[in-house]
């Protein structure tokens, strides 16, 4: 996949889809880092029919594709992303509750899911109030916190395969969940998930949510960041290792290791995504040199040299 062939296929896709896509659309501001560049093409399908139309437009083309949820786990390079970014629109944020089963659209925010299920007298998703992501992103990354995760209550998943233009549904076990991962291809776009929850007291659930929110405010920094930058190595804490290396507060340009939690990197207002990426690499190298532990980024790096791209 050469730069010239991608540019040619992007031009073909733009011509084929016409008003369905925007050109050179800013996506850095759509992430929780609020820094970074634009996407060559941007689409926001409002339902499965429009998503499948995008898949048909991609047929026969080789185009990098990125599915953007709420951008809480992404860092987009200042130079942007030379591909198609898909952000699911309003038709994908539905929520229906039938007894103990909750069907949630992929674009629904996790805090909303947590609060609405608690209000309905259901227990099991309170942890989600502390994760500023979407249902689809949580399924793809098996998001979790406070002793639980997505896989703990998920029973089935619905997704669209962009490569074949087909819709699939499968039990959650099919996704082979692990720590912050699921067996979904990059071109599999999650559109909905079904959780089976336990009955619970709305008052007790609200109290749990309030506790999680207070803990988050007390222990995690605000501002422009993407949460934990590195996954915890087995039996240890990434934040502890970074702190041990004296990197708390360390800065490169407009990016700084948080003084509140060393596994967070914050970007200054109107800062540079490239500074954040340089700081991530610096922290990795310093920790490995000092401790022998190779930290693995939890944040997805998009548009940087050697970062992931997806063939559509």
Name the pLDDT band for 5 (thresholds 50, 70, 90): confident
Residue 309: pLDDT over 70? no
- Identify the CATH class of 3-90: alpha beta
What pLDDT, in 10s, does the model give residues 115-146?
A: 999 999 999 999 999 998 999 999 998 999 88
Task: Point out the catalytic residue in the list 134, 180, 258, 272.
Answer: 180
CATH architecture of 92-217: 2-Layer Sandwich (3.30)
d(CA 9, CA 2): 11
**Mean of the pLDDT values across residues 187-192?**
95
Pair of tokens at residue 238: 């990434």
d(CA 148, CA 158): 22
Task: Point out the catalytic residue in the list 82, 126, 277, 298.
Answer: 298
Q: Are strands 154-161 and 188-196 parallel, antiparallel or unpaired?
A: antiparallel
List, in sequence order, every residue forming a beta bridge with 166; answer none if it has no partner.
161
Residue 38 is among the residues annotated as catalytic for this protein = no
- Identify the CATH class of 230-296: alpha beta
Residue 169 is among the residues annotated as catalytic for this protein = no
What pLDDT, in 10s, does the model give residues 193-205?
A: 999 999 999 999 9
pLDDT recorded at residue 289: 97
Asked if 219 and 261 touch (Cβ cutoff 8 Å), the reply is yes
pLDDT recorded at residue 312: 34
pLDDT recorded at residue 91: 94
Q: Which of 5-19, 118-132, 215-229, 268-282 has the lowest mean pLDDT?
A: 5-19
What pLDDT, in 10s, does the model give residues 53-66?
A: 999 999 888 889 99
What pLDDT, in 10s, does the model give residues 65-91?
A: 999 999 988 999 999 999 999 999 999
d(CA 114, CA 195): 12
Task: Point out the catalytic residue in the list 38, 156, 228, 254.
Answer: 228
Residue 277 is among the residues annotated as catalytic for this protein = no
| Domain spans, the chain | 3-90, 92-217, 230-296
Name the pLDDT band for 1 (thresholds 50, 70, 90): low
Asked if 130 and 213 touch (Cβ cutoff 8 Å), the reply is yes
Name the pLDDT band for 310 (thresholds 50, 70, 90): very low
pLDDT recorded at residue 146: 87
Q: What percent of the chain has pLDDT over 70?
A: 97
Residue 236: pLDDT over 50? yes
What pLDDT, in 10s, does the model give residues 24-61?
A: 999 999 999 999 999 999 999 999 999 999 999 998 88
């Amino acid at each position: 996949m050469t730069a010239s062939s991608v540019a040619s296929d992007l031009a073909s896709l733009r011509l084929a889809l016409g008003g369905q896509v925007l050109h050179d659309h800013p996506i850095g501001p759509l992430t929780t880092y609020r820094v970074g560049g634009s996407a060559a093409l941007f689409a926001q399908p409002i339902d499965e029919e429009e998503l499948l139309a995008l898949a048909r437009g991609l047929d026969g083309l080789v185009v990098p594709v990125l599915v953007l949820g709420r951008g809480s786990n992404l860092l987009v390079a200042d130079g942007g992303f030379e591909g198609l970014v898909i952000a699911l629109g309003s038709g994908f944020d539905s929520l229906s509750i039938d007894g103990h089963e909750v069907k949630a659209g992929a674009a629904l925010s996790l805090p909303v899911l947590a609060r609405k299920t608690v209000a309905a007298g259901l227990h099991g998703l309170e942890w989600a109030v502390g994760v500023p992501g979407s249902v689809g992103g949580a399924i793809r990354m098996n998001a979790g916190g406070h002793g639980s995760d997505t896989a703990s209550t998920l029973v089935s998943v619905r997704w669209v395969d962009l490569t074949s233009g087909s819709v699939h549904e499968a039990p959650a076990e099919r996704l082979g969940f692990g720590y912050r991962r699921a067996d979904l291809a990059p071109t599999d776009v999650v559109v909905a998930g079904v959780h089976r929850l336990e009955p619970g007291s709305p008052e007790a659930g609200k109290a749990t949510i309030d506790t999680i929110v207070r803990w988050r405010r007390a222990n995690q920094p605000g501002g422009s960041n993407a949460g934990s930058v590195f996954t915890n190595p087995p039996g240890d804490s990434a934040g502890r290792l970074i702190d041990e290396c004296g990197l708390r507060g360390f800065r490169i340009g407009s990016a700084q290791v948080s003084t509140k939690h060393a596994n967070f990197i914050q970007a200054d207002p109107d800062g540079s995504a490239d500074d954040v990426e340089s700081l991530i690499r610096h922290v990795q190298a310093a920790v490995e040199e000092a401790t022998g532990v190779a930290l693995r980024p939890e944040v997805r790096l998009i548009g940087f040299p050697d970062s992931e791209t997806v063939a559509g």
